[in-house]
Structure formats: C-alpha cells, structure tokens
C-alpha cells in the first residue's frame, strides 16, 4: 500500500485547478469558487484552519498501558473511528481532475468502508448527481449517507424516496447550500426551509435526519424542534458566507445546549487525528473531512481514501494515548485549551 505522501503527490499531478498545497489552509485559493477556495476574501476557509490550530492538547502520560480504541457509534452502527467523508461533488469543476463524480463517489464510499467508517455523498443540479451516489450506496449495502440539497419540495420528494431505497442508516441535508448563488439561480433552485418545512422532511425520511450547516445555538435548537436527530456544525468549508465564524469556535456552546438530545458532528479545517481529538474534547460526536478526502480519492481512488483515513485513525490513537485516553468516551473537555 502506498504512503499518504505518495497519494498526495499523485493528486497534485492530476489536479489542474486545486494546487494541493503542502498545507490545505485556504490561503492560495482565496475567492476561487468555482474551485476549491473560500467565498469572497476566503476568510471563512482560512479561519476554519486557524481556529482548529488555536486549540492545544493537554498531555497526561502517567496512565495504564492498555490498547487504545477509536471505535465509535453512528446511530447504532459501529464505526472504526468517528471520522466521516464530507459530501462533495463537482470534482472536475472544483479540482480540475479528470474524474467523474460517479467514480469519485465510488472511491470515497468504498474507501471509507474499507477503513471501517462511512461517507456522506453529494448532490447537484443534474439529477444524476444524486441518483448515481444513491445507487452506489445501495450497491454497498446501504453503507453511506445520501445528502440532499435544500431544493424545492417536489425535487426533495423523489430524492428522499431514492435515498430510503439505498438502505442507508441516515439521510442528511446540507441546508447551508441555500446560500450557494450558482444553485439559487439554477433552473431547479435551492432555497431556505422553515422549521415546519423541515418537520415534514424529518417525517418523510423515516431514518435519522442530519441537518448540515448549523452555526449557532439558535439554529441547533431549530433543528431539534424540526425533528433532526443530528446536525453538522459547518460553514460549508467557508464557501457560502465570507467572514463566517468557524465550526470549532461555536461547537462547544452548541454541544452544551443540544448535545444530550441529538448527535453533533462538525467539519471545517480538520486535517489530522489530533484535530479530530480537539473536536471530540469540545463535545462533538464525530468529524467530517472534505478537501483532504477529495485529494485522497483523486490521488489513488478507494485505496487513497482508505490510506488517508487509516492515517487519521493512527494519529487519533497516538493523541488519545498521550492524553491518557483508552477509548472515545474517555476524551473530556479538560484535555484541550482554546486560544479564542
């Protein structure tokens, strides 16, 4: 099996838009949308990474010499680690890689399964951009989370039905995509949803509904009222609102208010297993990773994704061991310090 450095070098050769920088921090690609960058000045993408780096970890090395386990739980389904591939589409448009979205989704779903975890799959303006990911999840025994953009209701209905047919353990909706101008102005536009509209969606899915794009306690409470069983604290990789706060900045407050009533995931700027540890210590149930997973899939398909996720798992294990943790439940708030 290749090393992660080899996979990343391969991705750099294959991408003609994304630079595959040594540090994926949003600086070189500010404002490049389409492309991999953050919206406008790119400050929200940059802030995501900076604020994750502003959290430091407290070491504790006088502990028992037991094996560390990263096993987690996704709505009753055990996973090898609490890390999931974020929903991404438009690989040619945003990365410049000669890889179809169908091939990309197959690589991410299969690679995530091989690493013992799950992928959230994408959606887009063409119907095939949702139909194909659902078919791939179904082919892999429902081991994936179809993610639906907030379309007009008629376009939501058939997507929900198709997602349910895949046998998936949950269905997500990245409601923050309502801020994507290219989708708001499309022939089938996305739009904002009220609590009452989201209640109808939660009833229709008949599996846990995860709402992605929650960035405040107010929003989290609305998601809970709407019947969501999970949320993703996310600013859409800094791609919808220039100047937005980062997910990790608002994570702890959100977890304190709703964390006992629903699962709380987070994304935005997480690049290593130690970064994942920081999110878990602040109350998250899991972390979604986007751009690095894309680089992994572009670089070496499903094997690249598996290599990256196993790297993250090893880093998480090492961090847990040096913080005195033997399992995920051992990770507590006093193990990190936030400089924000």
- Domains by residue range for the chain, with CATH: 4-338 (3.20.20.70)
Asked whether 38 and 240 are in contact (CB, 8 A), the reply is no
Q: In this structure, what DSSP letter does residue 290 have? A: -
Q: How far apart are CA 222 and CA 27, in angstroms?
A: 34
Q: Which of 277, 234, 270 is nearest to 56 (CA)?
A: 277
Q: Is 155 a catalytic residue?
A: no
- The sign of the torsion formed by the CA atoms of 188, 35, 123, 245 equals negative
Whether 209 and 175 have beta carbons less than 8 Å apart is answered as no
pLDDT at 181: 66
- How many distinct helices (H) and strands (E) make up the chain? 12, 12
Structure tokens at 92: 């040619």
Q: pTM for the complete prediction? A: 0.97
User: Closest by alpha carbon to 297, among 137, 102, 129?
Assistant: 102
Across the chain, which has 340 residues, the per-10-residue mean pLDDT values are: 96 97 97 95 98 98 96 97 97 96 98 98 93 98 97 91 98 89 70 95 97 98 98 96 97 98 98 98 98 98 98 98 98 98
- What was the pLDDT predicted at 190? 87
Q: Where are the alpha helices (DSSP H) in 40-80?
A: 43-53
Q: Please answer whether residues 230 and 170 qualify as being in contact, where contact means their C-beta atoms are separated by less than 8 angstroms.
A: yes
Phi, psi of 100 (to 5 degrees): -70, 155
Torsion of the alpha carbons at 118, 124, 127 and 132, rounded to the nearest 10:
-30
pLDDT of residue 189: 81
pLDDT of res. 184: 61
The reported pLDDT for the residue numbered 154 is 84
Which of the following is catalytic: 140, 155, 236, 295? 236
Long-range contacts of residues 214-222, Cβ cutoff 8 Å, at least 24 apart: 214/254, 215/176, 215/244, 215/245, 215/247, 215/250, 216/250, 216/254, 217/250, 217/253, 217/254, 217/257, 217/258, 220/254, 220/257, 220/258, 220/264, 221/257, 221/258, 222/195, 222/198
**Can you tell me whether residue 144 is helix, strand or coil?**
coil
């Amino acid at each position: 099996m290749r090393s992660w450095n080899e996979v990343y070098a391969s991705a750099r050769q294959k991408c003609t838009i994304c630079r595959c920088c040594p540090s994926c921090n949003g600086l070189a690609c500010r404002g490049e949308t389409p492309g991999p960058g953050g919206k406008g000045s790119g400050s929200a993408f940059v802030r995501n990474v900076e604020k994750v780096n502003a959290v430091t970890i407290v070491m504790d090395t006088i502990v028992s010499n037991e094996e560390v386990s990263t096993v987690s739980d996704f709505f009753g389904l055990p996973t090898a680690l609490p890390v999931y591939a974020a929903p991404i589409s438009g690989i040619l448009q945003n990365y410049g890689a000669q890889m179809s979205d169908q091939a990309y989704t197959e690589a991410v779903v299969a690679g995530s399964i091989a690493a013992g975890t799950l992928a959230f799959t994408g959606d887009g303006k063409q119907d095939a951009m949702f139909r194909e990911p659902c078919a791939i999840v179904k082919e892999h025994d429902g081991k994936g989370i179809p993610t639906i953009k907030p379309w007009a209701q008629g376009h939501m209905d058939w997507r929900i039905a198709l997602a349910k047919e895949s046998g998936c353990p949950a269905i997500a909706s990245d409601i923050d995509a309502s801020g994507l101008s290219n989708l708001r102005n499309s022939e089938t536009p996305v739009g904002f949803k009220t609590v009452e509209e989201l209640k109808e969606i939660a009833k229709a899915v008949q599996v846990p509904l995860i709402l992605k794009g929650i960035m405040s306690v107010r929003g989290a409470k609305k998601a809970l009222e709407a019947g969501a069983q999970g949320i993703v604290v996310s600013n859409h990789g800094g791609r919808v609102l220039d100047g937005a706060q980062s997910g990790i900045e608002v994570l702890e407050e959100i977890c304190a208010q709703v964390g006992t009533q629903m699962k709380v995931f987070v994304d935005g700027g997480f690049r290593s297993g130690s970064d994942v540890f920081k999110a878990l210590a602040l109350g998250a149930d899991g972390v979604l990773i986007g751009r690095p997973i894309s680089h992994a899939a572009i670089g070496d398909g499903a094997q690249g994704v598996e290599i990256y996720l196993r790297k993250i798992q090893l880093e998480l294990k090492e961090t847990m061991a040096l913080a005195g943790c033997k399992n995920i439940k051992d990770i507590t708030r006093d193990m990190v310090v936030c400089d924000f």
